[in-house]
Structure 1
Amino acid sequence: MKVWILLGVMLVTGSAMARSTSDSLLVALNKVIERREEFTKPKLDRLEDLHRQLSGPNGRDDQFRFLVLQNLSDEYKAFIYDSAFANIQRLQLLARKIDDPVKIAYAKVKLGFILLSSGMFKETIDSLGGLQVRGLPDSIRVDYYSILARTYYDLGDFDRDGFYTPRYTAMGNKYVDSAKALCKPNDYNFLYLSGLKNLKNENTSEALNNLNELMGHYPLTPHQLAVTASTLSYFYISRDETDQAINLLARAAIADIQSATKETAAMWSLAELLYNNGDVKNAYTFIQQAMEDAIFYGARQRKVQVGSVLPVIAAAKVHNVDEQRRLWLIYSTALTVLAVLVIVFAVVIFKQLKKLKRTEKALMEANTIKEEYIGYYFNINSEYLGKIEAFKKAVEMKLITKKLEDIKFIVNNINVKKEREELYFSFDKVFLKLFPDFISVFNSYFKEEDRIVLKEGQLMNTELRIFALIRMGIHDTEKIAKILDYSINTIYNYKARVKGKSIIPNEKFEQKIMEIQTI
């Protein structure tokens, strides 16, 4: 009897400790989500540097271009699908041009990884099906077999069919064994593939030993930690050991954000698990982040997976009365503070205008005020459009919950595109009034055949607008992308193309832009 009591106490104590660890990890994850842009910036800097290298003098050398495109593909592969796919296509074309069988095989294998990450199983198998790997370096062969193993395992998970799933699992096992045969015993790939195979074949104790060995005794990179922890979490989910699964998925999600990984399953799996566990607040935060990542990356299967869970969690959040009251209190307070700030700001502006009328200030101060005003004016309008978009999404969410269907008519009448066009026109007009020589000075930085010729009715085009924002002091590429409603990669391409044509050295181009004077 005493033994049973002791075991009961140990189980309760262990469960309480696991929950405490889960709570701490969820708090840490929320903080990391708040800092996600900080973790994304180094990747964006690396991407910008790689794009700069491609457009530089060394970019004409095929071997150098292959190396840069290889690095670009690695940076993009778990970050943005479209960019990763485009760079892999360029890598394949260059490999064929160089006519190097190893490089051709390498590019094909990398394409397989991108296709699999986007949920394109058939395309992955078709892409890798005709590849002859005999004689290739072991590193390429390991990747080849590992990708095919994952493809067949994922197909089995997707189908969940009594007839086909065992066949897909058997195919996955075959490719895992081929990959393991090329790995060093007890290295990361060997242990992870062993754990994955054991897990898929329900050899739970062996899988647990393999994956715990990695988690406890290997110096894993953030990405390796995320993959290993996510895989291990499925073991605990299958055994209904929820707290352990939450701990692992939270660690995986933190590692994904810290490594700027957007193609990830940890965040949405964690959200679903927390929702089933009654933690709607955290579940809603994490499922929103999962959808943001899925949209950013462009993963088809991830959007479907997250989209199937998001409405359920959102509906639960809407029906949570206490949460609704808290939100309304926050919104009301925020609106009150905003109204007070607007009034204070209006009074300050009014007093400043009266003061300017009464006194004759130096023109240098007026120029500074004008520069600050246009930057402020444009950012305020951009934020206003962002609020319209957020309002539209919020209203459509209510429509999903079948609450206020009559709002849909109002929402559909919001023409964000028209608002943006008017905003751009206003910005162009005000900017050129303050910088009337901007276009002529800008064009003087190029040969005559490369100068910008505007269409009839245009005040500025996208290229001019990007560098007009830079002249206003907005140097952050991500902010420029948000203001102009382009992707970050598109802004990089615009900037690189303009600088590449200029007679000014690339590193001095933006400095010359900043030297353009106001009236």
Structure 2
Amino acid sequence: MKSIVITLICLFSGVCLFAQSNNKVLLQRLTQVIAQAPEYDSQQMKTITALKQLLQQSGNQTPAAKFALYARLFQAYKIFHYDSAYHYARLLQQTAHELNDKTSITYARIQLGFTFLSAGMYKEAEDSLSSLQVATEPDSIKAAYYSLMSRYYYDLGDFDNDAYHKPIYIRKGNIYIDSATRVLPDTSFEHQYLLGLRHIKAGNKPEALACFNQIIRRKALSNHELALATSTISDIYIRSNQPDSAIQLLAQAAIADIQTATKETSATFILAQLLYKQGDVKNASICINSAIADAVFYNARQRKVQVSSILPLIEAEKLGLVEKQRKSLFTYAVIVTLLFVAVIVLVVVVLRQVQKIKAAQQAIVEARDKEHAINGRLADANEKLADANKIKEEYIGYFFNVNAEFFNKMEKLKQSLEQKINDRRLDDIRYIVQNNINLKKEKQELLRHFDEAFLKLFPQFISEFNELFRPEDHIVLKEEELLNTDLRIFALLRMGIHDSEKVAHILQYSVNTINTYKTRIKNKSIVPNEQFDKRIMDIKTV
């Protein structure tokens, strides 16, 4: 026996740890199922509607056939809707008396007693059940009567919940459970369930756990049976101060109840109480509202009173949380406002400094409302400055190299001319001028130096320029040609020379010719004309 207790304690601890890790998932699943409750209710109503149609089609059927249909309708309403269940229980009674069958009359009164008990009408339940004699009835009738009477006394004990009367009611309930288990098959769900319930009421936790763990491991356990077993076993964990395990079991019970359209249930109500005690007001509110909806739908008077007692507490806690969140939000709003003011002050300071930066950085000023935009545009402006500085450095070197060569030529020409003048050799002077000063060659040499310097800075210029055109319109250079006129016009544009007059002066063309070149080239491009110059400016240096 000792080893069994130790094993059960280990199992108990394992269940607790498992429950803590799975409660969040189960509660999320329960929330989803609660939202789907109307769908499950609709399925139950379809079943009921089909039975009612059978009843309407019955016509002049025998009382026995009607009794069978009333019994099926009662079972459909039994845990779904009190008023309808009561109605068909009364019809069962009437039909049973028409049949003048003692077993049918007993069965009908047991069902009527169940409806009274489910609605919390204890006096009416006692009136319906107390005078019944089941000694000669079949075992199924005896089992139903004894188990219902045990529930009646257990519920009375929970209702009174005092030190004097409750133990008396529990002892009476135990007597009826013992009678029920004697007539039920040992392997049936009802027998094992009632035996486990008996152990709970007697305070025998290990034996109760053994019974209910055996039930839960049963194959082909229906959702309603699962709900009964898990909600009942949860009482062990509640009494043992193990709320996480109890919450897990009650959540399973609540899910199973909703999926079977069971409104005569206390799982969501007890679950709401536990969640409220743990401070989980959100889920407690969801469960208590579901419990209220079930109690109102079923019309269980006692259950409505029980649920209403905890609802104000949960709603008050919700209001308290909302107020606390409101205060927190106000505090956060003040902090954010102060930070926003600080950011504005910082932006103003930054803008004053940005105004001192060169014109290429002006884009930063336009983004003063957004700090990240300022940083982005500053980087862009710095890149442009670096690009401009690189171009400037390269072309200053290019300028001095070209000028040095020009001055060397001029120096040599000067010396030669001075010598010829001193010697008065005028024909030789004319020869020197005609053969040493070749303007066309000098222009070509100048353009070649420009082309070399530009392509050193922009080695990908030609390929990226051609990407702006269809393949058949790509520029193909002649042998030993670095750039042609088309490319030079836009090379000068990339260098920052946007004025057509300056471009014309540099390349020694007319302004009209330059503009004609530009228009013709842009019209061939796959890029819109207004974006063409920007795409040229986007070509990067090395």
TM-score tier by shorter-chain length is 0.5 to 0.7
Q: Any conservation in 1 of the 2:147–2:176 contact (CA below 8 Å)? A: yes
CA distance in 2, matches of 1:15, 1:70: 42
Q: What is aligned with 1:185?
A: 186
Identical pairs, percent:
43
SS of corresponding position for 2:221? coil
* Deviation at residue 69 of structure 1 after TM alignment: 0.6
Q: What is aligned with 2:70?
A: 69
CA distance in 2, matches of 1:183, 1:281: 43
Q: Structure 2 length normalisation: TM-score?
A: 0.56
Q: What is aligned with 1:255?
A: 256
Are residues 1:41 and 2:42 paired? yes
**For residue 272 of structure 1, what is the amino acid of its counterpart?**
Q
CA distance in 2, matches of 1:213, 1:57: 43
Q: What is aligned with 2:155?
A: 154
Gap change, CA 1:281 and 1:323, over 3 Å in 2: farther
Q: What is aligned with 1:289?
A: 290
Are residues 1:105 and 2:106 paired? yes
* Deviation at residue 20 of structure 1 after TM alignment: 2.1
CA distance in 2, matches of 1:286, 1:210: 28
* Deviation at residue 75 of structure 1 after TM alignment: 0.5
Are residues 1:198 and 2:169 paired? no
* Deviation at residue 219 of structure 1 after TM alignment: 2.8
* Deviation at residue 11 of structure 1 after TM alignment: 11
Q: Structure 1 length normalisation: TM-score?
A: 0.59
Q: What is aligned with 1:455?
A: none
Cα deviation, 1:379-419, whole Å, max 9, x if unaligned, reads xxxxxxxxxxxxxxxxxxxxxxxxxxxxxxxxxxxxxxxxx
Cα deviation, 1:144-203, whole Å, max 9, x if unaligned, reads 000000111111121122221121111111101110100111321111111111101111
Gap change, CA 1:203 and 1:17, over 3 Å in 2: closer
SS of corresponding position for 2:279? coil
CA distance in 1, matches of 2:305, 2:325: 27
CA distance in 2, matches of 1:15, 1:310: 28
Cα deviation, 1:37-80, whole Å, max 9, x if unaligned, reads 11112210111111112221446432221111101100111111
Q: Any conservation in 1 of the 2:19–2:245 contact (CA below 8 Å)? A: yes
**What pairs with 1:202-217 in structure 2 (closer than 5 Å)?**
202-217=203-218
CA distance in 1, matches of 2:217, 2:12: 23
CA distance in 2, matches of 1:248, 1:276: 17
CA distance in 2, matches of 1:219, 1:322: 49
Are residues 1:170 and 2:141 paired? no
**For residue 26 of structure 1, what is the amino acid of its counterpart?**
L
CA distance in 1, matches of 2:14, 2:227: 28
Q: Any conservation in 2 of the 1:58–1:64 contact (CA below 8 Å)? A: no
Q: What is aligned with 2:268?
A: 267
**What pairs with 1:405-444 in structure 2 (closer than 5 Å)?**
none
Q: Any conservation in 1 of the 2:16–2:245 contact (CA below 8 Å)? A: no
Q: What is aligned with 1:299?
A: 300
Gap change, CA 1:14 and 1:245, over 3 Å in 2: closer
CA distance in 2, matches of 1:260, 1:251: 14
* Deviation at residue 100 of structure 1 after TM alignment: 1.2
Moved over 3 A (4+): 10-17, 57-60, 322-326
**For residue 40 of structure 1, what is the amino acid of its counterpart?**
D
Q: How many residues align?
A: 318
CA distance in 2, matches of 1:15, 1:58: 57
SS of corresponding position for 1:319? helix
**For residue 277 of structure 2, what is the amino acid of its counterpart?**
N
SS of corresponding position for 2:49? helix
SS of corresponding position for 2:183? coil
Gaps of 5+ in 1: 1-9, 329-519
Q: What is aligned with 1:442?
A: none
* Deviation at residue 234 of structure 1 after TM alignment: 0.5
CA distance in 2, matches of 1:244, 1:167: 30
CA distance in 2, matches of 1:222, 1:31: 17
Higher RCO, Cα 8 Å, sep 6+:
1
CA distance in 1, matches of 2:60, 2:323: 59
* Deviation at residue 139 of structure 1 after TM alignment: 0.8
CA distance in 1, matches of 2:132, 2:157: 23
Gap change, CA 1:16 and 1:131, over 3 Å in 2: closer
**For residue 253 of structure 1, what is the amino acid of its counterpart?**
A
* Deviation at residue 319 of structure 1 after TM alignment: 1.4
Gaps of 5+ in 2: 1-10, 330-542
Gap change, CA 1:322 and 1:107, over 3 Å in 2: same
Cα deviation, 1:464-513, whole Å, max 9, x if unaligned, reads xxxxxxxxxxxxxxxxxxxxxxxxxxxxxxxxxxxxxxxxxxxxxxxxxx
RMSD between aligned alpha carbons? 2.2
CA distance in 2, matches of 1:43, 1:52: 14
Q: Any conservation in 2 of the 1:267–1:287 contact (CA below 8 Å)? A: yes
Q: Any conservation in 1 of the 2:79–2:262 contact (CA below 8 Å)? A: yes
Q: What is aligned with 1:22?
A: 23
